[in-house]
Structure 1
């Protein structure tokens, strides 16, 4: 088959872009011709349709008026008329662009409704669809329109229940909610990782640290998520600050080095909230936690994102809300131990497979606009982390165990099995 993987953007480091690349790799191995069709010009995007991209002025304007309240039109009727016109334009554009494809896989276009005319236009195409839902609009308060009429559009059409559309979700919680809301029974396809391609090596560990000027005795914590408030990155700062106070200088480490007393926290993800990044810088300074921020470099060179896993001694994953958990899988594939907050989807879909991790618990509260966990939970996590970083056997056993578990449950081979048996049928 000739297959189009469709999204607003591609070739970037967001979860949807990453999963499309994995689907493309697996579907191509299965003998299909696969193209990523998106609205941005980026390496990895095979077909560019600028009309559906985030950079399109109509996209931003539509988003602002649909979710934030109609402000750019004299009344709601005028806005709805504009939407209808845009829907017709997109229908003609997509009819031409997607004409030769046997199967179209829209990613999140029918899930969040960020650009409603696009979803409505897609529904009119006489194509075979697999709707890949990574998140849903009802999971995000800011993506619920203030207007009842506009909200009804989402409730009726996002996602659509059509005979030519098969639905895929990434976790069991979303499956139950979609069944309840729409009577649709989707297939659960978890996010996956390529466990056959080594992400790290001992040689690269030393080379990357030398390149970045990081002393062999310095412990590096890696925060590989995008910089966004729901990632609760302040918890990573708390972990590093307490670890620095707990671990004694000149303590032998798992890799044969001796702890210098220094711990740095590295940010490798793209920044999606500049004001939040400033808050994190201020908080890290208050806690005496050095930060190395490579967001801009990664934006220019995505390969550098993957290289940064080499410098890490452990990975922090304190996110409080995830549809799945790409950076968790990346850490496992990179053979790095993980300190994580047990968010809801982790508890329901990932925890049962038996990964070994250092827990920040499953309850949080806010203090002065920062996410916090109980001091006793943080203390226990840091004690476990200290033990792990100072025990070569425990470190090795932990990361190797997780690698094998990840390979079994979340590999490209597992994706191929699910697509063959449950999706492409």
Structure 2
């Protein structure tokens, strides 16, 4: 790769170069998908009651809140002639996350599983956050939408495969569905083992098959590191929320309402579908479990749709601009969530998930493409880390607020949480029109 600093005009990369630099996200999504689908199951098997699950799950957003800006800050200030700027963080995060994936389903006690969730989520964030900055580092402005879309493609593919693993092990390979009391099913254990191998392998593919551009002034970088020190860097990381560029502030509101909607879906879709579509609240009934299983299929569908939509969104953005593309996608997601209220036949939920998948693909790519054009190259990782506050904060707010809203205004009917989420997506879409896009006429 030619010698180009990260602040210079960057050459266009080939399809396969973008593929290699994004491939690690396939492994990262294995970790996230297995975590999202199975951690509550593991907690309950080890004795957690339903009231304690939200508290145990707060590990995920709190870890992101702490880890991402710190990793972003220090990945900006790292350079190795052999390993580059971001790739050391990719590798360390992948190793730690893979260890957690192997230990989690073998946890002997609840506190061990809770600790593994902290380690797993923190490690995933160590790998994931620099991946966002990696696109800004390596691609010119007119290729960044494609770069983030490629990441969205791998996120979708990884989520579909990982979500299906327990089903494959029980229904295709024949592993038992009824383990001994207090024991994690073998299907879950082997899914996590496969996930750990996939996580490490995919991330290391990117580490070994990608190169990075050096900082423009290496001596200045060393001087800044010496002057700031560890504690100065930590303080600057968390104060970054008060120093965001204007475009980043505008996108923060878009992200907040987008992710509020997503978390309302992740938290309440199972309860909403089993009660509203299948007509049962008895968690021990066959009908409830049939509905819960179908929700898993629906989630696989929206991730699969997102993987395909990731390549179509750049084409639409080229015609109508990134902001309008994001609005259209979010409106599709809102329609998908709200439409569940009107559905009686479970098969029609697939249509709802198509809309959600389009929105999911856009949420994972367009905001980052918009943001990357507004950030100084030497602080790309730092600001990407700060930007992720607006992923974890709405998760915390949704976990605390939606229950109150449902109890006091909607008689604890979970379907209304999805309607609230749809309304939040509509608001996020409208707010996206207010975002400055410096490269709108150059999008490809």
The two structures share one fold, judged by TM-score above 0.5: no
> Could you say which structure has the greater relative contact order, defined with CA pairs below 8 angstroms and 6 or more residues apart?
2
Which TM-score band applies after superposition, normalised by the shorter structure? under 0.3
Higher radius of gyration, 1 or 2: 1
Judging by fraction of residues, say which structure has more strand: 1
Query: If each structure's helix is expressed as a fraction of its own residues, which one has the higher value?
Result: 2
TM (norm. structure 2) is: 0.25
